[in-house]
Structure 1
Amino acid sequence: MANDEKYVLPDSIFTYATLTHLKLSRCIFMLPDGTRFPNLISLQLEHSKIAGHRGSEDDLKLPILETLELRFCVDVDSVYLVCPKLENMSIISS
C-alpha cells in the first residue's frame, strides 16, 4: 500500500493451501480459526499488526515454515506459532 494506513487481509488469503511464500506490508494480520498454511515455507511481515485469532483457537500451525521475518511489526506476542522446522527468524524493531 502506498499510504501509511494498514489494511485487513481478506479471509480468502488464509485458505490457499498451495501458498509457499508470503510477504506482506502494512496490513493487519488477523487470523481466522483453523488457519494452518500447510505449505508455507517463508513468512515476511513489515510495518504490520499481528492481531491474533478471531475465534477461540490461539495458535498458528506452520508445519514446514523455515523462515520468519518480522520488521517493524506490533503485537507480535499475540499469537502462538507452532513451527517445528523453523531455521531462520529475524525480528527487527518489533
Structure 2
Amino acid sequence: MKKLWILLFSLCVLNMPQATAQEKVLVFAASSLTNALNELAESYEHASGNQVVFSFASSSTLARQLAQGAPADLYLSANTKWMDYAAEQNVINTESRKD
C-alpha cells in the first residue's frame, strides 16, 4: 500500500511545474491522507531539497478555498465530487488530474 502512495505522490509532483531548489511546495490535501503524505513528504524533501507545506482539511473545505483564490501547488482530494467542483471553478489544471 505504501508503494501505491509513493507512486501517486510522485505522479502528482511530476505533473507540477518544476520547483527550483529550496522552493516550498504547498499541498492542499484531504485530512484522511495526513499520515501517508507526511511520510512521502519526508522522502521528497530529502531527494529534492524542496520543502513541502501541507494544508490538511476536508476535501470540500479545500475546494472552496481554491475557488475563493487560495494558492496551492497541488490539490489531493479524497472525493471526486470536490475535484469535479474544483475543475468546474477552473482552479485546477484539468490536464494533470488523476482519479
Decide: shared fold, TM above 0.5. Answer: no
Structure number with higher helix proportion: 2
Q: Which structure is richer in relative contact order (CA contacts within 8 A, separation 6 or more)? A: 2
Structure number with higher strand proportion: 1
Q: What TM-score results when the alignment is normalised by the length of structure 1?
A: 0.31
